[in-house]
Amino acid sequence: MSKMDRRAFLSRSASVIVGATLVSTPGLMLGDRTFSHAQSPPVPNNNLMDNKLMDADARALHSLAQTYFDGAYEMDADKFASIFHPSSSVTKVGDDGNVSVTPIGMWLAAVRNMKAPKQQGLERHDQILSIDVDGELALLKLKLQIPPRYFTDMLSCLKVNGTWKIAQKVMTSKT
């Protein structure tokens, strides 16, 4: 993509990439510039209302990610249920190499039977790799650890009645 095409693309989309480890000071990256929370990100256009909405969406999605991390650390199905849309599902490649799609209700039932990393006194290793927003659609890429496994989760989110919800979770893990 040429530099001019990239600028046009960035001016049309409300794309926010967050490279943050929740333990350290997170920062925002728009285009190819990185900003700490103490700085203001560049204004992609002159429409103040669009910028306020973009900032509000980024904050809301960051909060959703934090609830997600807390739910995983505490194995709290109710926390997860609060951020997943009721029609969502979880998709992964199983140990047998086949793709499995699990409705959220079944996945939450399994979460209720898991031992929480918090109960085991294990440390947290949560990381937001990116948040990409385009209107009422967002994609969050997260990393977390539930020992002995390390997970990368891609959360497709939709803004439903003004609230961000996870519509689809696609995950992979390794030991």
Q: What is the pLDDT of residue 51?
A: 64
pLDDT at 147: 83
- DSSP symbol at 20: E
**Lowest mean pLDDT: which of 11-15, 41-45, 54-58, 86-90?**
11-15
User: CA 90, CA 56: separation in Å to the nearest integer?
Assistant: 27
Two structure tokens written together for 77: 């199905």
Q: Are 91 and 101 in contact (CB under 8 A)?
A: yes
pLDDT value at 6 more than 90: no
**Would you say how long the chain is, in residues?**
175
Question: Which residues touch 142 (CB under 8 Å, ≥6 apart)?
Answer: 65, 68, 69, 126, 127, 128, 129, 151, 152, 153, 154, 155
Tens digits of residue pLDDT in 88-128 = 999 999 889 999 999 999 999 999 999 999 999 999 999 99
Q: Let me know if 147 is exposed, middle or buried by CB neighbors in 10 A (0-12, 13-18, 19+).
A: exposed
Please write the tens of the pLDDT for every residue from 126-142: 999 999 999 999 999 99
Quick check: bond before 148 cis, omega within 30? yes
Per-residue pLDDT of 37-51, as tens digits, reads 333 344 444 455 556
> What's residue 47's pLDDT?
53
